[in-house]
Amino acid sequence: MERKDLRNIAIIAHVDHGKTTLVDEMLKQSGVFRDNQVVADRVMDSGDIERERGITILSKNASTEYNGVTINIVDTPGHADFGGEVERVLKMVNGVLLLVDAAEGPMPQTRFVLQKALDQNLSIVIVVNKIDRPDARIKEVIDEVLLLLMDMGATDEQLDSPMVFCSGRAGTASYSPDAPGTDLKPLFDTIVEYVKPPVGDPNAPLQCLVSCIDYNEFVGRTSIGRIDAGSMKVGQNVTVCDWHNKDLCKNARITALYAFDGVGRKEIESASAGDIVMFSGIEDVTIGNTICDAGMPNPISFVKITDPTVEMTFSVNDSPFAGREGKFVTSRQIRERLHKELLRDVALQVEDSTTTDSFRVMGRGEMHLSILIEKMRREGYEFQVSPPKVLLHTDEAGNRLEPYELVVIDVPTEYQGAVIEKLSGRKGELVEMHPQGDTRMRLEFRMPSRGLFGYRSEFLSATRGEGIMNTIFDGYGEYKGDLPTRTTGSLISFDTGTAVTYGLYNAQERGTLFIGAGEEVYEGMVVGSNPKGDDMAVNVCKTKHLTNTRASGSDDALRLIPPRRFSLEEALEFLNTDELLEVTPKSYRIRKQILKNDLRMKATKGKKA
């Protein structure tokens, strides 16, 4: 039976192509918010980190009404590191809005999310967004989208997908690129007319695939999924089973049931086939489980989430400043927090390490893990992390394989030579190169993921901040051997104490400092970088010897260069193989694994011998 009163859609796109902004306008224009209601920009990005970085990390559900039809909307992440979110939420919907930036055109993540939608034979509505950009090239982008569809083996029906031209920020849509439109009515009409309504028998035995998981302290674990068949009621006894785990067959009970209402949710007593619902009462349910009628297990097929490609070691902070700033510092507390994250994040894996004070944390990429680090830091956790490294595989013939990335770079033409030279030195293979307008060039590389560690900051410097780099996982390939590592050395504090102007003035002649006067340091802490490539111990706590003719006040005449301050990602990129990043609620500190200078020198000499 078709639910003509219902449409379930997901909004998919490359990062920063305007998904969340467009959802905002759809909700406003469909009457979800009162006319006088104050609504934050990107209302679907509810997390502080999402708002600060302008990216969607977790998929969000919303619902609105248009001409008597309920439209359930799922806003998905655009960054490749959170692709696990996209893979699973597409199981809940019957159609997608594929957003493409009118200037950038299809990008790596566009290809990834479109392939997932084509594989599931979903209805596709192509939305060319940001048509009001001054550098928009709408007609070229239309051709690029059609070429992408053909390249990916789209059916004739999918090639005939309708195309709508929007400005998410202005809240306008039209059927023609030459007419800007006045509202989003053309987009809503296209969704209702073209996206397939959900089909399911409300009288059949219950089947509901769990596609998302949430967790809070009051109700525990909650599940989100679409009811494929049958109906679900509060108090109903159910059986939990799984397509990939035939041994799983356990009984449970639905204690609460919710439907999505605007950007919130409301309690309901029952729901039937086609509805997207949230429910609680099943404590250890996980993504991919199927909820069925009691005693009637019939699991729904589910594609396994792509395995992690990058790992880091999280460990207890053992620096001299340990415990000063954090509330949660023990291995037990860190372990509990990491396993709590597993309740929400299906693409993350956590394993105990060889020691009781450290844990292997594996994810989709550097950003995936850095977001976790930032969340824990803000919650009051204090710990230290190792440099990221890739997870290697071995094929049947015993060959070592490593993860590869497809790297797409847009740069001004005058910088393309520097980018090609650097990435070629990092084992990158240039696979495509073509102009973007009159002044920019698009370069596509396939290269080992290891080759990108530490490159983003270097890339921004080489392109004077005008370059745009996007990456996406591109499978496993031949292990490329040793790659060039960081070319700069570290300036390491020789002593523990407070950095003073005189000591910093002498140290800044050796390289770039990361700290300023008055900051506390400890022996083995990295306080700067040395362009010569070798590590060097400096005494930033050294004070000037006072005499009758040399007073301490004369330090005011010494001019210090402002220190370089790292973001979390920059600090992780800077880390060398023998360094750690100390993370606290107030600070990031780079340090050597061996803090004592004499012990570190002995270990270094032993390796060279």
Binding residues for GTP: 16-21, 129-132
The secondary structure of residue 196, as a DSSP letter, is: P
- Element containing residue 589 per DSSP (H, E): strand 588-592
Closest CA to 282 of 228, 345, 240, 242: 240
Structure tokens at 562: 């402002």
Q: Vertex 424, ends 419 and 425: CA angle to 5°?
A: 105
Which burial class, exposed, middle or buried, applies to 2 when counting CB atoms under 10 A from its CB (0-12, 13-18, 19+)?
A: exposed
Q: What share of the chain is helix, strand, coil (3-state, %, to 5)?
A: 25, 35, 40
Check if the beta carbon of residue 505 is closer than 8 Å to that of residue 426: no
d(Cα 503, Cα 520) in Å, to the nearest integer? 13
H and E: helices and strands count for the chain: 14, 35
Which burial class, exposed, middle or buried, applies to 506 when counting CB atoms under 10 A from its CB (0-12, 13-18, 19+)?
A: middle
Structure tokens at 335: 């372990």
Closest CA to 91 of 287, 375, 306, 370: 287
Check if the beta carbon of residue 406 is closer than 8 Å to that of residue 83: no
Check if the beta carbon of residue 91 is closer than 8 Å to that of residue 302: yes
- Element containing residue 261 per DSSP (H, E): strand 256-261
- Element containing residue 26 per DSSP (H, E): helix 19-29
Dihedral sign computed on CA atoms, order 492, 494, 500, 501? negative
- Known binding residues are 16-21, 129-132
- Element containing residue 138 per DSSP (H, E): helix 138-151
Q: What one-letter code names the amino acid at 172?
A: T
Q: Vertex 396, ends 395 and 400: CA angle to 5°?
A: 30
Closest CA to 227 of 262, 198, 269, 195: 198
d(Cα 94, Cα 90) in Å, to the nearest integer? 8
Closest CA to 104 of 372, 470, 609: 470
